[in-house]
Structure 1
Amino acid sequence: MFEFVEITLFLLLISILFTSQLLHLVDITLDFLGAPSIMDRGRGGMLGRIPRRRNPLFRRRDVSPPNFTTSYEITPEDALEVRDILSEDRNLPPELVDMILEYAEYWACSVAVLDCADRPDGRISIRGGGQGENQFLLRTEPLGLNKWSPLSHDLWKTQSAPKSLEKEYPESNLHEFIEGPVSTLEHPFRKVVFDIVSCDQGWSSHHDDYGTYRNSFTWFDVGLERFDMNNECPPTCSDRQNSDSSSKTANIPTCAIRSVWPPVINDTSNDSAMKYKHELLPTEDHCIQRNKHAEKNMQHHHIEWSWDDNINPELPAANELEEIGRGRSTGNGEFIRNLKFGDMITVWGRARFGGWSNNVQSVKVKLYWAF
């Protein structure tokens, strides 16, 4: 009986100690609106839980792309240190330690931020009906590979060349780019959080749809990239890696990045070339968020995708996702559960048809993984 009371009191103490961390994760809005122009390395579920989630959630050719970099919030070392404190200093069983860390969401975190505050008008405007209606906005660094870094930041800030992925790197080969512990979980990636500040052109001829997400033809898609093991870095490549064994730079060049989605297809106008296949309308499984219809003021959308989400897109529960501007297949958790070490998440801005404009002020992506 005494041991049960002691464990109960200890769990209460742990909850108090983690309160500040939990409040930090909840207070997304205050943190996001004051974020600098950086790119840091850094649950959802049944329909009844949706209202309690944290609000589910190109650049122009004459302007250089906004800068973004990467660093960590909670590092893998932080997570391992806390695990050791709980298991060794307090002699708690591993199952209880896992429960505590999971409840506190004490996970390693990778963050990518695109901030347009330094642009003349403070935004990127993606206009429908032309060649610029599909805009690459940002990518996360390779998930979990905290020892990898690009040599060319110019290449890093732009979309990858449309080439087919021929051979993925085995996970064992990517471990050399991981500093700290390697997760042994089957689904180590727990959650991805998108914060998007944007709006459309502020008007349309469909007055009945004003203030809703119906017939909204400006939106954001999630993409996925991986390294190609068969890549041959040309001598002229600005990200050609140093062959010196003493170099601290990882030896996978940025030009080895290949898009898994959007898919790459043959260009019918040029038999020897490839091109991206961009869908005309939002897809159910990649649409992160539509803009609110004919809303001229910037809107902040906060969207969370979790590994344990289980909303069946074929059931009425998915209707609510569409009502808040999301793809109805983005609540089943499949995207997160299928992530691998080394994957890069991308965000694309879209606009369709003349007169429609996707005005982007900022985009932020946080990816969390456990050990």
Structure 2
Amino acid sequence: MGQGHSSPKTVAWFPTASEIHSTRQILVFGCGLPVEIATEVLRLAKYWAADILIYDVPITIHETEEVLIQVDDVLSELKYMSSVRLEHSSGFENGPEDSLDQKTGKIEVIDWNIISHDQGWSDYTQDHGTYRNSWTWFEVAVFKSIKPHCPDSIENSYSDNSKEIDNEAGLNWHRICCNIHARYEFTTHNRTWLPNHPFIQELKHLLAEEQVSTEKKSVGIKVRAVAHYPGWMNSIQNMECKIYYSF
């Protein structure tokens, strides 16, 4: 048998935090725009940095199961979730000198892309092909953890040594999407969450607490795939989460 061939994946390009900052400096000192207008121009252009979380291990969850999907567990270890060093030079006579700033990204949008399906059948034929009475779904929650201080050892990742503060029962779970009722073909579910979404509001609140806390805390997310009742199955092919930031 011949070997299969796959085309290389196209890698999306996103500006870095420093590139966003430098572009704003060009708009301000090169084009004479007020800072507020320059910032709004970048926002309307969606000129944002991005962290991308990908889970691409196919799995099927059977009746009454809830499975945590580890998508890069600790968000503060992602590139733009915590304070970022901005290196920039305006390049203009009246602009600022080369400088280093520290800034935390502002979450603008979270995009979810999940490819999945349920068991493909049910006795409720009137609900087939709809989202009514769909008992397989995906949800996400924010949690906090504390990293133990160990000065004599090399620091490992938060996910290796952290102790969760919030147990699973106390987390606020936010529904991402359900599967289409009794459709066996894989379906792509796209969901876009804006800054006023309760999940983003909760995430921002915990990140703000982390910045002023004296404890070495970390904020992360848990994504859970659910098949709720006997006979139901949740099959996942791929899940992708893109978190967009402005600076």
Question: Shorter-normalised TM-score: what interval?
Answer: 0.7 to 0.9
Query: 2:154 corresponds to which residue?
Result: 242
Percent identity, please: 28
Query: 1:267 corresponds to which residue?
Result: none
1:339 pairs with 2:203 = yes
The 5 A counterparts of 1:17-28 are none
1:354 pairs with 2:223 = no
Contact 1:190 1:306 in 2 (8 A): yes
Offset of residue 215 of structure 1: 1.1
User: Whose strand fraction is larger, Structure 1's or Structure 2's?
Assistant: 2
Distance 1:226 1:298 in 2: 33
Describe the superposition over 1:252-291 as per-residue Cα deviations: whole angstroms up to 9, x where unpaired. Answer: 563215264xxx2xxxxxxxxxxx4399xxx8x6111010
Query: 1:125 corresponds to which residue?
Result: 60
Query: 2:119 corresponds to which residue?
Result: 201
Distance 1:113 1:251 in 2: 18
Relative contact order higher in (CA < 8 Å, ≥ 6 apart): 2
Alignment-mate amino acid for residue 242 of structure 1 = I
Query: 1:291 corresponds to which residue?
Result: 179
Distance 1:196 1:209 in 2: 21
Offset of residue 198 of structure 1: 0.2
Contact 1:87 1:94 in 2 (8 A): yes
The 5 A counterparts of 1:204-243 are 204-229=122-147, 231=148, 242=154
Distance 2:120 2:42 in 1: 44
Query: 2:108 corresponds to which residue?
Result: 190
Contact 2:143 2:165 in 1 (8 A): yes
1:255 pairs with 2:147 = no
- Normalising to structure 2: TM-score of the pair? 0.73
Contact 2:142 2:202 in 1 (8 A): no
Contiguous gaps of at least 5 residues in structure 2: 1-6, 87-100, 208-217
Q: 1:191 to 1:361 in 2, by over 3 A?
A: same
The 5 A counterparts of 1:3-18 are none
Q: 1:224 to 1:257 in 2, by over 3 A?
A: farther
Q: 1:295 to 1:259 in 2, by over 3 A?
A: farther
Equivalent residue for 1:367, pick from 239, 243, 247: 243
Distance 2:121 2:149 in 1: 48
Describe the superposition over 1:187-219 as per-residue Cα deviations: whole angstroms up to 9, x where unpaired. Answer: x21111100000001001111110111111110
Q: 1:334 to 1:86 in 2, by over 3 A?
A: same
Describe the superposition over 1:131-176 as per-residue Cα deviations: whole angstroms up to 9, x where unpaired. Answer: xx1111133464465569xxxxxxxxxxxxxxxxxxxxxx9xx64x
Question: Secondary structure, in 3 states, of the residue corresponding to 1:297?
Answer: coil
Offset of residue 34 of structure 1: 7.6
Question: Secondary structure, in 3 states, of the residue corresponding to 2:203?
Answer: coil
Alignment-mate amino acid for residue 107 of structure 1 = W
Q: 1:241 to 1:367 in 2, by over 3 A?
A: farther
Contact 1:134 1:348 in 2 (8 A): yes
- Normalising to structure 1: TM-score of the pair? 0.51
Distance 1:213 1:203 in 2: 13
Offset of residue 35 of structure 1: 4.9
Aligned pairs, how many?
Answer: 214
Question: Secondary structure, in 3 states, of the residue corresponding to 1:277?
Answer: helix
Alignment-mate amino acid for residue 84 of structure 1 = Q
Alignment-mate amino acid for residue 137 of structure 1 = I
Distance 1:286 1:305 in 2: 11
Offset of residue 335 of structure 1: 1.7
Question: Secondary structure, in 3 states, of the residue corresponding to 1:214?
Answer: coil
Offset of residue 339 of structure 1: 2.0
Alignment-mate amino acid for residue 164 of structure 2 = R
1:303 pairs with 2:235 = no
Alignment-mate amino acid for residue 295 of structure 1 = R
Describe the superposition over 1:301-353 as per-residue Cα deviations: whole angstroms up to 9, x where unpaired. Answer: 10011014xxxxxxxxxxxxxxxxxxxxxxxx222123244532332111112
Contact 1:141 1:344 in 2 (8 A): yes
Query: 2:96 corresponds to which residue?
Result: none
Aligned CA-pair RMSD: 3.4
Contiguous gaps of at least 5 residues in structure 1: 1-32, 43-71, 117-122, 149-170, 234-239, 244-249, 265-275, 309-332
1:277 pairs with 2:141 = no
The 5 A counterparts of 1:38-187 are 73-116=14-57, 123-129=58-64, 133-140=65-72, 142-143=74-75, 145-146=77-78, 175=83, 178-180=84-86, 181-183=101-103
Contact 2:142 2:203 in 1 (8 A): no
